[in-house]
Structure 1
Amino acid sequence: MIREKALRRLHIHGGGRRGAEAWPHVADPDAIFVSFPADASIADQAEELASEHRGERLLVFAHSIGAVPAVLAAHRLEVAGLVLLEPALYDIARGHAAVERHIGIVTEARARVAVGDLRGFWAIMRPLMFGGPFEAARWEDEQSLAARWAATNLPWGHGVRERMLDGIPTLVVTGGWNEEYEVIGEIIATRGAVHRILPGAQHRPQDLPGFADVVAEFETSLAGA
């Protein structure tokens, strides 16, 4: 009798904290926490996932932009299930007004970086990403954060298509606070994914007490599939 491989939980961070620091509520001692190099491209990230975790039976958790390499690598891995948290899969939602507005603002901001105007970049990006206005008095403290955001990968332009999730049991969890992520969740749901909305933590629904119950329900469905 061939014993089925144990299911391991692989956690892929978003654009902020990396590794286990991005998942402070995970208590699984066997969990795997990815920590991509800061300068790794999306293509490099997808290749790392596919090469480093081939042969393992995985339940993959991916947050925000981490969903992009997760989806690109998924069919090269043995993925039993995929949990996408506020997935930044903008490529599958092109044309939607909220998504195009976001992309347009970021494109305008990046154009400021291209001419060496980091402060101008931050004046555009700070309200978009953090909800508060640019304040000259805080610029010195926020300059390094602005530089990091100016150099981070963009989550679109990578050829992600919703069909890439076909055949992979998928749970999408969004926070109900941002139309862009809700649209992406709805599109994925049309391909058969389960979409759950957990309000209260905005971009990090995984930090809410109810998240564990949603995941447990999803895992039960995998066992019965």
Structure 2
Amino acid sequence: MKSERVVFVHGAGNFGAAAWTRQHGMALEFDCLFVRRHGFHPVAAPLPTDFAQDQRIVAEALGSGGHLVAASQGAVAAMMVAVERPELVRSLTLAEPACLSLTESLPATAAHKARVQPLFDRAGELTDEEFNREFVRLVFAAEPRTLDTPEAKRAARRLRLQAPPWTAPLHIVPGVPTLVLTGGWEPLYEEVAGYLAETGARHTVAGGGHRPQDTPAGADLISGFIRTHSRKAA
């Protein structure tokens, strides 16, 4: 029997296979594709967010169907596909999903939006470095790394071009088996996970900050959830 397809969708940082180092071994068991979202390229200039293009990329990667695993802002495109093409999605795993359109009126998301929206409003007036510094300070309460390589400079340009996740055209949740992993560090993502859990998803706090997929527990939960909903299990 042909291996089942698993499509991995990255967030706003590392992309492609580099975003999923703990999941590379799953390629021994599944047909794994580590996609690049629109505007993410190792050499070409970054492009602004295009939710529809991201959705198309993910849907095409699924082919005739398979499993979706997505992190942070990548969860938006994954959920859009699962909502509009549920027949293609056997399972959906979301790590710290930034699906803030769904929770825009809830307390943590509303506070986050109020804090960060003014920065996005000024994005056209700021340099890449200025935007990057302020974004990291506001969202992660940390100091950004120095933009001393071409890769770091492209990443900062890409970050400034990203659309706020609460502007994504995502307003309902898919009716497919869904696992949500969070790091237990930020009320914003716990709020999104709680919303999804109330609509039928399974939610587990796996640690690891904004990257629960990198923890041993998170990696095991991802592979286990996919096996549970694979054709073999069925």
Length-normalised TM-score, structure 1: 0.83
1:191 aligns with 2:189: no
Structure with higher Rg: it is 1
Displacement after TM superposition at 1:103 (Å): 1.4
Question: Aligned to 1:42, which of 44, 47, 51?
Answer: 51
Residue 26 of structure 2: aligned partner: 28
1:158 aligns with 2:200: no
Residue 72 of structure 1: aligned partner: 80
Residue 97 of structure 1: aligned partner: 107
Pair 1:102–1:24, CA change in 2 (3 A) = same
Report if the CA contact (8 A) 1:109-1:120 is conserved. no
Task: Write the mapping of 1:108-127 to structure 2, written as runs, cut at 5 A.
Answer: 108-116=118-126, 121-122=131-132, 124-127=134-137
Residue 203 of structure 1: aligned partner: 210
Question: Aligned to 1:61, which of 45, 61, 69?
Answer: 69
Residues 110-167 of structure 1, C-alpha deviation per residue, up to 9 Å, x if partnerless?
22223346565445322123322589xx688887654332112321222212x3312x
Residue 17 of structure 1: aligned partner: 14
CA distance in 2: counterparts of 1:52 and 1:134, whole angstroms = 33
Code of the aligned partner of 1:28? M
Displacement after TM superposition at 1:71 (Å): 0.8
Code of the aligned partner of 2:96? E
Pair 1:143–1:32, CA change in 2 (3 A) = closer
Report if the CA contact (8 A) 2:13-2:155 is conserved. no
Code of the aligned partner of 2:75? A
Q: Which runs of 5+ in 1 are unaligned?
A: none
Length-normalised TM-score, structure 2: 0.80
Partner-residue secondary structure (3-state), 1:148: helix
Code of the aligned partner of 1:171? L
Code of the aligned partner of 1:85? A
CA distance in 2: counterparts of 1:85 and 1:54, whole angstroms = 22
Report if the CA contact (8 A) 2:180-2:201 is conserved. yes
Report if the CA contact (8 A) 1:42-1:153 is conserved. no
* Higher mean displacement: 88-97 or 46-55: 46-55
Code of the aligned partner of 2:170? V
Q: Which runs of 5+ in 2 are unaligned?
A: 40-46
1:132 aligns with 2:132: no
CA distance in 1: counterparts of 2:128 and 2:16, whole angstroms = 28
Kindly report the root-mean-square deviation, in angstroms, between the aligned alpha carbons of the 2 structures. 2.7
Code of the aligned partner of 1:17? N
Aligned pair count reads 216
Partner-residue secondary structure (3-state), 2:78: helix
Residue 43 of structure 2: aligned partner: none
Residues 49-93 of structure 1, C-alpha deviation per residue, up to 9 Å, x if partnerless?
22343313x111000000001111123251110000000000110
CA distance in 2: counterparts of 1:105 and 1:143, whole angstroms = 24
